[in-house]
Amino acid sequence: MPAKHTQQKRLSIGIVGGGIGGVAFAVALSRDRNLDVQLFEAAPQFSEIGAGVSFGPNAVKAIQLLGLEEAYQRIADSSPAPFEDVWFEWRRGSDDGYLTASLAPGVGQSSVHRADFLDAIVANLPDSIAHFGKRCIEVKQDTYSATACFDDGTHFTGDVIIGFDGIKSAVRRHVLPPEEYGEINPFWSGTYAYRGMIPTDQLEAALEAKGSEKRLALVPQMYLGRDRHILTFPVKQSQLINVVAFITDRSTANPALPEGEEWVQTVTQQEMLDVFEGWSPACQAMLECIPEPTRWALHELPELAHYHRGRVLIVGDAAHALVPHQGAGAGQALEDAYVLATLLTDASCHRDNVSDVLAAFEQVRRARTCKVQRTSHEAGDVYEYAGVGIGSDESKLIENLENRFDWLWNHDPQDDVLSARKALGLVN
């Protein structure tokens, strides 16, 4: 599948992967008529697994910069007044006792249903760009072009290939060849997450029946305990409450999933209730409202040596998949999308220097995305009384929870663009 009209265009770009990051990136590129943009998705149509996803202020900023704010705000949830700046309230899982709140002024807990958000972005994508049933199995490049090969026997050749193809990325093998870097596989974090969605009115009634405040349904909550924590936040215009209950195996340094175990499976409600036996009334109320929980084995990637090789770049979860404990994964993919799209749509970027542009992107993004990976893992430790130097000391816990997100949230991806342009000699 050769690029169409390549000669008339400044740059021909193939995007592998049609999740939130890949589609947002394609939308941003599609506004530049001088680019030939083609997106390849393995599935038969755009689809996201139906779970809630939360965005910090940095991610909301990236959404605005990508020109997707109107689409986002139509479906985004936020905390009810007077709690609109609350990211999460933090409580003891043993008795619902309030510890503190993390505040994100002007944003709070901005969250959506993943599938709804993807649909909202896709609505901005021109018709001719997306190709389905295209599972990438190999990437190749030479001095002048890069090629993605698909399992249906077709291929795409362009000036650059961008791998937005997730934690199980096929493009990653080309960027970090196993013969040079060894096999780089996602590893299990040691944490299982039980997930469910509860109709808001049902949860409010269940909370009241247990003698708990019904506002615990609509205001985002995080319940903390040893090796376990539970979070809740509203989605679908506050019609549903997204509940995720985590348990971590810290008995060994490198926990391993049982051989052949699926990453996601439906389990019994009783298994989940047993894990949280003895927890607070509010926690019991929530878990009892989830008759068929799914259990997710949370995987992440090691910090990679680099993201770029010649005309090929991996971004989003393909480069820096992380655990969800800071609500940061989708946000990093959107930051990547904004920074990369801004650099590639710059008129100074062309097929002869695009490798330098990808190198500059990596130079300004890699340290941040690696730090987000690392601190997301550490956040799970903090929430489960296993934080280094913090443990179950509530005064230290409160101080950490009130301040740990500032560096993550107060980041402007426009600064990354400026740094990359300086590295490329485009600005002083």
In 3D space, the residue among 339, 337, 297, 303 whose CA is nearest the CA of residue 320 turns out to be: 303
Give me the DSSP letters along 228-281: EEEEEEEETTTTEEEEEEEEE--SSSS--PPTT--SEEE--HHHHHHHTTT--H
Distance CA 161, CA 351 (A): 12
Specify the pLDDT at position 45: 92
| 162 φ, ψ (degrees, to nearest 5) | -115, 120
The position carrying tokens 């149509």 is 45
187-300 folds as D-Amino Acid Oxidase; Chain A, domain 2 (3.30.9)
Which H or E element spans position 53?
strand 52-55
CATH for 6-77+110-185+302-423? 3.50.50.60
From first to last of the 428 residues of the chain, give the pLDDT tens digit.
544 444 579 999 999 999 999 999 999 999 999 999 999 999 999 987 767 788 889 999 999 999 999 989 888 887 778 888 999 999 999 999 999 999 988 888 888 888 889 999 999 999 999 999 999 999 999 999 999 999 999 999 999 999 999 999 999 999 999 999 999 999 999 999 999 999 999 999 999 999 999 999 999 999 999 999 999 998 888 899 999 999 999 999 889 999 899 999 999 999 999 999 999 999 999 999 999 999 999 999 999 999 999 999 999 999 999 999 999 999 999 999 999 999 999 999 999 999 999 999 999 999 999 999 999 999 999 999 999 999 999 999 999 999 999 999 999 999 999 999 999 999 87
CA 295 vs CA 18, 166, 221, 232, 265: distances in Å? 24, 20, 20, 16, 5
The CA angle 369-371-377, to the nearest 5 degrees, is 105
Q: Active site includes 309?
A: no
* H helices present in 199-238, as ranges: 200-209, 215-218
Residue with tokens 């209730």: 273
pLDDT value of position 243:
96
Integer Cα distance of 119 and 209 in angstroms = 37
Exactly one of 172, 195, 311, 368 is catalytic; which is it? 195
Paired tokens of 170: 């096929």
Strands 187-199 and 294-300 come out as antiparallel
Domain boundary assignment for the chain? 6-77+110-185+302-423, 187-300
The pLDDT score that the predictor gives to residue 6 is 44
